[in-house]
Amino acid sequence: MNDTVSRMPLTVRMRRSPFFARSHAAGAQGYIVYNNMLIATDFEGAEADYRHLKRAVQLWDVGCERQIEIAGPDALKLVQLSTPRDIRRIADDQCVYIPTVDGDGCMTNDPVLVKVADDRYWVSIADSDQILFYKGVAAALKLNVSVFEPEVAPLGIQGPNADALVARVFGEAATRIGFFRHTRVDVDGTPMILARSGYSLQGGYELYFEGGDGSVLWERLVDAGQDLDVKAGSPCQAERVEGGLLSYLSDITPDMTPFEAGLGRFCHLDADTGCLGLAALRAKREPVRQVRPIEIDGDALPPMTAFWPLTSADGAPAGRVSSAARSWSYGLNIGIALVDRAHWDAGVALRVVTSEGERDARVLSGFPGRGSA
Amino acid sequence: MNDTVSRMPLTVRMRRSPFFARSHAAGAQGYIVYNNMLIATDFEGAEADYRHLKRAVQLWDVGCERQIEIAGPDALKLVQLSTPRDIRRIADDQCVYIPTVDGDGCMTNDPVLVKVADDRYWVSIADSDQILFYKGVAAALKLNVSVFEPEVAPLGIQGPNADALVARVFGEAATRIGFFRHTRVDVDGTPMILARSGYSLQGGYELYFEGGDGSVLWERLVDAGQDLDVKAGSPCQAERVEGGLLSYLSDITPDMTPFEAGLGRFCHLDADTGCLGLAALRAKREPVRQVRPIEIDGDALPPMTAFWPLTSADGAPAGRVSSAARSWSYGLNIGIALVDRAHWDAGVALRVVTSEGERDARVLSGFPGRGSA
């Protein structure tokens, strides 16, 4: 091991998804831990995986996006207490990105809410035990709900060939769903939720697989997608950074408000939602730091193992870089940074203090990958 | 990598403690992730570390035992809502092990509560975001508290020579505190809490270090302890298994009650504590499965990467093994198992289905290491 890569014994504490065995056998090169589960880092290397994702289709074992099931008469009320987004009238087939906040308006997670039925919701979480927030609120207010982790594991089907693969395996009708909408597809006789969503900008789906072993389904997808160049993959750092998909616990930390994370459009502060962070957020509408895309000059960057300080051109503190990657498609380095207000306008020159020296950088007007979605 | 050890890139998401740099430089051979922090697995190998812990003294970077600070007029009330243990009259210098539960009486963590002041407590947590439970309850009930993670990182000083080392560095008076009691010691002019506690049965302390860089203190302890054979270490699987120290998310899972975990003595169900899980626990006093020590026959065990099924001698399901290790001191293999009632009496013959074949096993009357505490 060295200072950027470690040896990690696999233990009982690291739960495996129904797709773990197949994904592992497909050649995962390493893992990190996410929601106490293992998620693969790469298969054929960062650049090869990135280029493949952009031209073909990948199967992602993202069982680490745990589901919190909230069921019962007070289910929607409980979810609404956790988010400033007004979700009181979402459609039956809708998925909704919901920043979740505490009583101070600070972010506790940034999940996707899936409406399963009028009194049944799944909160598909990023890396924090958001279930404990719901359990605490439900017990304190004696709400009429059950809050638990169901046996559901998302499988990502991501990339430009995802539509073709889904049509072959689940039928043409399944591909007619809109963005962040879902439908039921048949998996060995059991209906399961398939949504047009996922943690890439290349298009695709997430199948909410229910059951203990996903091997048969995985093989069916692999067999059906041979000429579509289907391969195992995992969320791609370079692709998600150039597309501005934020990561909870790096780009979004628990001390940040949705406004600081650039998620103000999901905060409905004038609606009477009941969100427990509403009063706090009303007082924090105008952030003094906010997430921005930046371009970082020079060749490929060193591995990032901790936040890199960001300074103005003359060395004054200006924020921090929380993610950075080589964008091979655009031929430059992209960073996601939390930038102080004095420095956050597009074009402002900055310096990034990487682990291997300083680099010139500048604020971009947008994430380059966002246009290609 | 193979099926029991993985490569893990170190990322921004994995927070480092004030002692990380020194512990890492001392030769950590690998890490696992715990509360989104890195904790070392071993230094000179499992057996060497185990034997050293039992004869000398080790410094453990256990910053991954995050602190939740709960401060304000309702602080004690909020903590009490989370635990069935009656903590309403704990002493000013007391640390208290508190199983925490949800509204169903199921365990959410198993932290140590440290009383810092009448209106100020630290909850020193195992591996779950217990802070979200407190934030949820506090916001829902509009309690007058602050709930946050302070800049505090525990340093373990564990082993039979811990008393001598603490006396040299913090003064003889510091060693006069009782078990699970604490005092203030001077660290570079700043008073910090030192408690007689820790995740081993070899005796020792936990220093609740406050500040950004623990390197100076680490070096002082190393220098003062040369002839005491002080070394870097980390929680020792073999030592804690033979001593029956349970681990949250392996031996204790979120579906278990404190009674199932063998923690019934900490459940004060007849007291009017207000614990949100009280009614549920009153209905669950008589578990049908419970944690038991078992002895497993044969040579050293294969690495355990998932629960091992437990059966009766004739093959009927009897529970699961959640931890297992070679106990070199006692010359046998010890397991921590969750055993069904029909099989949990001391002496009952069982079979363990390890990842490399079955082994004979039997229920023990107690953990062998418990006697040597």
Binary contact (A140, B140; C-beta < 8 A): yes
Beta partners for residue A353, in sequence order:
A358
Nearest to B135 among A16, A102, A141 (CB): A102
3-state secondary structure chain B: CCCCEEEEECCCCCECCCCHHHHHHCCCCCEEEECCEEEECCCCCHHHHHHHHHHCEEEEECCCCCEEEEECCCHHHHHHHHCCCCCCCCCCCEEEECCEECCCCCEEECCEEEEEECCEEEEECCCCCHHHHHHHHHHHHCCCCEEECCCEEEEEEECCCHHHHHHHHHCHHHHHCCCCEEEEEEECCEEEEEECCCCCCCCEEEEEEECCCCHHHHHHHHHHCHHHCEEEECCCHHHHHHCCCCCECCCECCCCCCCCCCCHHHCCCCCCCCCCCHHHHHCCCCCCEEEEEEEECCCCCCCCCCCEEEEECCCCEEEEEEEEEEECCCCEEEEEEEEEHHHCCCCCEEEEEECCEEEEEEECCCCHHHHHC
Nearest to B304 among A12, A102, A141 (CB): A12
Residue A304 contacts B, CB cutoff 8 Å: yes
Chain A nearest C-alpha distance from B185 (Å)? 30
User: Which comes out higher in pLDDT, residue B323 or B212?
Assistant: B323
β A57-61/A230-233 pair status: parallel
- Integer CA distances (angstroms), B142 to B23, B78, B138, B158, in order: 41, 11, 6, 41
Nearest to A13 among B130, B140, B249 (CB): B249
Residue B345, pLDDT above cutoff 80:
yes
Nearest to A132 among B31, B130, B307 (CB): B130
Tell me: the pLDDT tens digits for A89-133? 999 999 999 999 999 999 999 999 999 999 999 999 999 999 999
3-state secondary structure chain A: CCCCEEEEECCCCCECCCCHHHHHHCCCCCEEEECCEEEECCCCCHHHHHHHHHHCEEEEECCCCCEEEEECCCHHHHHHHHCCCCCCCCCCCEEEECCEECCCCCEEECCEEEEEECCEEEEECCCCCHHHHHHHHHHHCCCCCEEECCCEEEEEEECCCHHHHHHHHHCHHHHHCCCCEEEEEEECCEEEEEECCCCCCCCEEEEEEECCCCHHHHHHHHHHCHHHCEEEECCCHHHHHHCCCCCECCCECCCCCCCCCCCHHHCCCCCCCCCCCHHHHHCCCCCCEEEEEEEECCCCCCCCCCCEEEEECCCCEEEEEEEEEEECCCCEEEEEEEEEHHHCCCCCEEEEEECCEEEEEEECCCCHHHHHC
Residue count (chain A): 373
B contact residues 60-89, partner A, Cβ 8 Å cutoff: 81
Residue A279 contacts B, CB cutoff 8 Å: no
Q: What would the two tokens of residue A274 be?
A: 């009941």
Binary contact (A12, B307; C-beta < 8 A): yes
Task: Tally Cβ neighbours within 10 Å of residue B166.
Answer: 25
- Distance separating the N- and C-terminal Cα atoms of chain B: 38
Residue B373, pLDDT above cutoff 90:
no
Q: Which residues of A touch B139 (CB under 8 A)?
A: 102-103, 137, 276-277
Q: Tokens 């696999």, residue? A: A10
Best A3, A12, A304 residue to mutate vs chain B (most B CBs within 10 Å): A12
Binary contact (A10, B30; C-beta < 8 A): no
Binary contact (B136, A135; C-beta < 8 A): yes
Q: What is the mean pLDDT of residues A179-195?
A: 96
**Residue A247: what pLDDT?**
98
Burial tier of B55 (Cβ tally within 10 Å: 0-12, 13-18, 19+): exposed
Chain B nearest C-alpha distance from A62 (Å)? 17
Tell me: the pLDDT tens digits for B21-53? 999 999 999 999 999 999 999 999 999 999 999
Q: Name which CATH class applies to B20-65+151-241.
A: alpha beta
Q: Which chain B residue lies closest to A277 (C-alpha atoms)?
A: B139
Nearest to B31 among A8, A276, A303 (CB): A8
Nearest to A322 among B4, B12, B129 (CB): B12
β B308-312/B349-354 pair status: antiparallel
Which distant-in-sequence residues (6+ apart) come within 8 Å of B260 by Cβ? B287, B289, B290, B291, B338
Gap between the Cα atoms of A165 and A185, Å rounded: 13
State the span(s) of chain B assigned CATH 3.30.1360.120: 20-65+151-241
* Choices 3.20.20.60, 2.40.160.10, 2.60.40.10, 3.30.70.1400: CATH for A67-148: 3.30.70.1400
**Contact A3/A26 with Cβ under 8 angstroms?**
no
Find, among B64, B85, B207, B60, the residue nearest to B127 by Cα: B64
Task: Tally Cβ neighbours within 10 Å of residue B114.
Answer: 26
Q: Which chain A residue lies closest to B21 (C-alpha atoms)?
A: A3
Q: Which residues of A touch B128 (CB under 8 A)?
A: 129, 132
Residue A274 contacts B, CB cutoff 8 Å: no
Tell me: the pLDDT tens digits for A319-363? 999 999 999 999 999 999 999 999 999 999 999 999 999 999 999
Q: Which chain A residue lies closest to B11 (C-alpha atoms)?
A: A305
**Contact A274/A84 with Cβ under 8 angstroms?**
no
Nearest to A305 among B10, B36, B140 (CB): B10
Q: What would the two tokens of residue B225 be?
A: 């302890």
B contact residues 101-160, partner A, Cβ 8 Å cutoff: 102-103, 108, 127-130, 132-141, 149
Q: Which chain A residue lies closest to B302 (C-alpha atoms)?
A: A11
Q: Which chain B residue lies closest to A5 (C-alpha atoms)?
A: B9
Tell me: the pLDDT tens digits for A254-277? 999 999 999 999 999 999 999 999
- What does the angle CA B23 – CA B28 – CA B32 come to, to the nearest 5 degrees? 100
Q: Which chain B residue lies closest to A140 (C-alpha atoms)?
A: B137
Q: Which chain B residue lies closest to A144 (C-alpha atoms)?
A: B103
B contact residues 315-334, partner A, Cβ 8 Å cutoff: 322-323
**Contact B289/B341 with Cβ under 8 angstroms?**
yes
Gap between the Cα atoms of B147 and B68, Å rounded: 7
Q: What would the two tokens of residue B318 be?
A: 């009897």
Gap between the Cα atoms of B31 and B64, Å rounded: 12
Nearest to B128 among A14, A132, A141 (CB): A132
Q: Tokens 């998909």, residue? A: A245
Chain B nearest C-alpha distance from A228 (Å)? 29
Tell me: the pLDDT tens digits for B251-309? 999 999 999 999 999 999 999 999 999 999 999 999 999 999 999 999 999 999 999 99
Binary contact (A10, B24; C-beta < 8 A): no
Find, among B372, B339, B329, B333, the residue nearest to B356 by Cα: B333
Gap between the Cα atoms of A99 and A87, Å rounded: 12
Tell me: the pLDDT tens digits for A130-148? 999 999 999 999 999 999 9
Residue B129, pLDDT above cutoff 50:
yes
**Residue A14: what pLDDT?**
94
Binary contact (B11, A32; C-beta < 8 A): yes
In degrees and rounded to multiples of 5, residue B78 shows phi and psi of -65, -45
Nearest to A31 among B6, B10, B132 (CB): B6
Q: Which chain B residue lies closest to A25 (C-alpha atoms)?
A: B3
Find, among B356, B78, B14, the residue nearest to A8 by Cα: B14
- Distance separating the N- and C-terminal Cα atoms of chain A: 38
Gap between the Cα atoms of B188 and A178, Å rounded: 61
Q: What is the mean pLDDT of residues B167-193?
A: 97
Q: Which chain B residue lies closest to A21 (C-alpha atoms)?
A: B3
Tell me: the pLDDT tens digits for B133-155? 999 999 999 999 999 999 999 99
Gap between the Cα atoms of A5 and A10, Å rounded: 15
Residue A372, pLDDT above cutoff 60:
no
**Residue B372: what pLDDT?**
43
Chain A nearest C-alpha distance from B167 (Å)? 34
Q: Which residues of A touch B305 (CB under 8 A)?
A: 10-12, 14
Residue B2 contacts A, CB cutoff 8 Å: no
A contact residues 150-209, partner B, Cβ 8 Å cutoff: none
- Integer CA distances (angstroms), A262 to A118, A197, A198, A309, in order: 30, 20, 19, 20
Task: Tally Cβ neighbours within 10 Å of residue B265.
Answer: 8
Residue B343, pLDDT above cutoff 70:
yes
Q: What is the mean pLDDT of residues B204-217?
A: 96
Residue count (chain B): 373
Burial tier of B357 (Cβ tally within 10 Å: 0-12, 13-18, 19+): exposed
Q: What would the two tokens of residue B74 be?
A: 């309702």
Gap between the Cα atoms of B104 and A145, Å rounded: 12
Q: Tokens 């638990």, residue? A: A148
Sign, Cα dihedral of A151, A157, A163, A167: negative
Best B33, B37, B135 residue to mutate vs chain A (most A CBs within 10 Å): B135
Q: Which chain B residue lies closest to A143 (C-alpha atoms)?
A: B103
Chain A nearest C-alpha distance from B25 (Å)? 10
Chain A nearest C-alpha distance from B205 (Å)? 26
Residue A373, pLDDT above cutoff 70:
no
Q: pTM of the entire structure?
A: 0.98
Best A3, A10, A70 residue to mutate vs chain B (most B CBs within 10 Å): A10
Q: What would the two tokens of residue B19 be?
A: 């002692």
Chain A nearest C-alpha distance from B87 (Å)? 19
Gap between the Cα atoms of A16 and A273, Å rounded: 37
Complex ipTM > 0.90: yes
A contact residues 218-237, partner B, Cβ 8 Å cutoff: none
